[in-house]
Amino acid sequence: MGYEFVFKSDTDKELKYPKLKLPGSDRCVRLKSLGSGYEIEDIKRRIYDGMYSTPKDYHPFSELEAVKTDETIERYRSRLERAGYRVVYRYYSVQLKSCKKRRKYREYSPELREAIRKLNKFINKQRFCSLYRIDTYGQAEALKARRKEQISKLAEERKKLRLEQKRWERKGSPAYANLCRIAAQEKTDKMRELYKDVRMCDEIITDSPQVRLNAIRLVQQRTYEEQKRRLRLEQEKAKKVRVRVR
C-alpha cells in the first residue's frame, strides 16, 4: 500500500519508538503519537482483518490521510511567515521536490513549473543558509560584508605579487617570476569563491521575500489540489457503484 515502517535508525540502532512513513512523503511520525490502536500487533490485526473481510474497499489507515483543514493551513502559513531563511528554503525545496516526483508537469501552473525547473538553485540556497546559519536579512548582509573585506585583502596581496612578478622579469629571473605568478593565481581563485558567496547573499536577500510568499501559496495550493483529487476519486467510485446497480 506504499507505507513504510521504520524500526531502526540510519546507524542500524533499534528505535525506542517505531515510526511510520506515509506514501509519497519524506516525513515520519512515531506510532506512539498516533494514539491507541497503533501498536505493532494492532496494525497487523487491522491489516489481516481487512484482507479477509473486504479486500477491495478496506483501508486500515485511512484516518491518517485526512484532508488538511483550514486550521492546519493557517498553522503552516503563520510558521512560514515567522521562520528564518533556512526553514523557508528547506520547506520550499522539499515541497517542489515532492511535486516533481509525484505529479505531471502539465497539471501545474506555469509559475510552479518554472519553480520546479529551478529546484536545484533553491536546494543550493538552502544548503548555503544552513552552512553559514543565515536566517535573517542582517545575517546575510554581515556575511556579504565579511566576504567583501576578504576580497579586498586578497586583491591587495595579488597586486603586490604581480608587481613582484614584473620586478623579477626585469631582473631576468623567470623562475622567481613564475612563482609570483602562481601565487597571484591562487589569490584569484580564492577571490572567485568569495565572489560566489557575495552573489549568493545578494540572491538570497533579493529572492527570500518572494520565496516565502510562494511557500505559503504552495501550502494552500497543494492542500486544495488534494481535496479536488479526493473528490474526483469519490465521484468515480460513486459512478462505478451506480453502474453496478443498473
Tell me what pLDDT residue 67 has: 45
| CA nearest to 184, candidates 159, 166, 219, 211 | 159
Tell me what pLDDT residue 53 has: 56
DSSP E strand stretches across the chain: 4-8, 14-21, 28-30
pLDDT at 152 over 90: yes
Evaluate whether 35 touches 42 at the Cβ level (below 8 Å).
no
Q: What is the pTM of this model?
A: 0.61
pLDDT per residue over 126-141, tens digit each?
A: 999 999 999 999 999 9
- Residue 17 identity (one-letter amino acid): Y
pLDDT at 22 over 90: no
What b-and-e string marks burial along 119-137, b requiring 16 or more CB atoms within 10 Å of the CB?
eeebbebbebbeebebbee
Could you give the 3-state DSSP secondary structure of residue 197?
helix
| CA nearest to 46, candidates 25, 27, 28, 20 | 20
Evaluate whether 203 touches 125 at the Cβ level (below 8 Å).
yes
Higher pLDDT, 230 or 58: 230
